[in-house]
Structure 1
Amino acid sequence: MKLSLLLIAAPAAQAAVSYMSAVPDKLMAMVEASEDCNLPDDFQIQNFAAESADGKTADSLDFTFNDDSTVLNTQCHLNASSVPVSGDGRTPRYACDNASVQFIWQNGTITVIEKVCPGDDGAADYEASGTAAVPLVCDGGAANGTGNAARSHRRTRRAAVACKSNSDDIRSRFFSIQPVG
């Protein structure tokens, strides 16, 4: 029994060790010398809600990002008027209300990027990244409020379907920390 518990706990422990072993020496020195530099450990995606025209692909979304280790809580949104943070050829990132947090939404997965450890100029020198799967449940009756969503959807192709995560509190871990670049 004890051996099986050890084997179950090993991957989680290895993930934590891998994250910490990847922290650059310069950053570790900054963490130890500064009260303003906290390395994020895990994060929460809360109250995730979306709208979908087809009941499969999210066209707009809203959620709350929370990181207890850095005491950061902010609202995040993506809709037709959202503009990516940078046009540097990478996958588009979108800023949350607190610009220290950005996110990428792809295929039911959200990647969050949190800027941490301000340098002498006050700007963050590092970014921590983590990914969480967000399973969506779309309410077919939400398209017109009557429960006849399929028939209504055929007539009105643009009717939005309300979607949400099957959990109001999705927790995940940061897995990477890199210099801001």
Structure 2
Amino acid sequence: MKISLLVVAAPAVQAAVSYMAAVPDFLMAKVQSSDCTLPDDFQIQNFAAESPDGGKTIESLTFNFNDDSTILSTPCHLNASSVAVAGDGRTARYACDDARVQFIWQNGTATVIEKVCPGEDGAADYEASGTAAVPVVCDGAAGNGTATAARHRRSNSRRAVACKSNSNDIRSKFFSIQPVPGGGEE
């Protein structure tokens, strides 16, 4: 009976994470044994940033990452003092306050990487990735044609202005799951 329940449950679990084209059988077995939860979607909430040029480039940003399926919520930040997670030639990633979540910020897009499915050593064996477009709107203080803006342009110093997303709750799906490079949490 237990074997038949596993056979019946496997397609349901696979369908729940349909963003993954091919989840390895051994990982599905781990999911079915409750040792691992594969994330489905995530939220970027309360995104705020500073930009010297009306949002074309971002000097600093902060947001809250939330994943209801893994019950993980953590603040994430990027600023002048941020240090990229030790690299192995990949695009620079930055750890959120909970190091199980990392992110990449490029061209108005946040790619989030969540480490999941701990192995026997307690370190995550896999990482799920997803991307969310984050529309950024800034207050009009930078480069709006006022004398102050012109004075800043002439002095080659730009004052950063406050920016935020036009949505306080951006939802997106994870689209990939891969083994953690190096075989555990970095």
Answer yes or no: same fold by TM over 0.5. yes
Which amino acid counterpart does residue 45 of structure 2 have in structure 1?
Q
Q: Secondary structure at the match of 1:159?
A: coil
What does residue 99 of structure 2 align with? Answer: 99
Q: Distance in 1 between matches of 2:69 and 2:80?
A: 32
Q: Which amino acid aligns with 2:172?
A: S
Q: Distance in 2 between matches of 1:160 and 1:86?
A: 29
Amino acid in the other structure paired with 1:136: V
Aligned AA (1:151): A
Say whether residues 1:40 and 2:39 are aligned partners. Answer: yes
Which structure has the highest helix share of the two? 1
Distance in 2 separating the partners of 1:149 and 1:108: 27
Distance in structure 1 (CA, Å) of the matches to 2:53 and 2:94: 23
In structure 2, the residue matched to 1:86 is: 86
Whether contact under 8 Å (2:20, 2:175) holds in the other structure is: no
Q: Aligned partner of 2:37: which letter?
A: N
CA distance in 2, matches of 1:122, 1:152: 56
**What SS does the corresponding residue of 1:30 show, helix, strand or coil?**
helix
2:167 aligned with 1:167 = yes
Contact 1:22-1:176 at 8 Å conserved across structures: no
Tell me, in whole angstroms, the C-alpha distance in 2 between the residues paired with 1:171 and 1:148. Answer: 40
Task: Output the aligned Cα RMSD.
Answer: 2.0
SS of the equivalent of 1:140 reads coil
SS at match of 1:110: strand
Asked whether the equivalents of residues 48 and 164 of structure 1 are also in contact (C-alpha less than 8 Å), the reply is yes
For residues 102-134 of structure 1, give each alpha carbon's deviation from its aligned partner in whole angstroms, at most 9, with x where no partner exists: 000000000000000101000000000000000
Correspondence list, 1:137-148, <5 A: 137-141=137-141
1:73 aligned counterpart, secondary structure: strand
Distance 1:127 1:100 in 2: 9
**Any residues of structure 2 matched to 1:103-122 within 5 Å, and which?**
103-122=103-122
- Residue identity in the other structure for 1:49: A
Indicate the residue corresponding to 1:6 in structure 2. Answer: none
Residue 60 of structure 1 pairs with residue 60 of structure 2: yes
Q: How far apart, CA to CA, are the structure 1 residues paired with 2:109 and 2:164?
A: 13
Q: Which ranges in structure 1 are unaligned for 5 or more consecutive residues?
A: 1-13
| TM-score normalised over the length of structure 2 | 0.81
* Cα shift readout 1:120-162 (whole Å, capped 9, x = no counterpart): 0000000000000001101123x6xxx8663354255231111
The residue number in structure 2 matching 1:69 is 69
Structure 2 residue identity aligned to 1:53: P
Structure 2 counterpart of 1:74, which letter? Answer: T
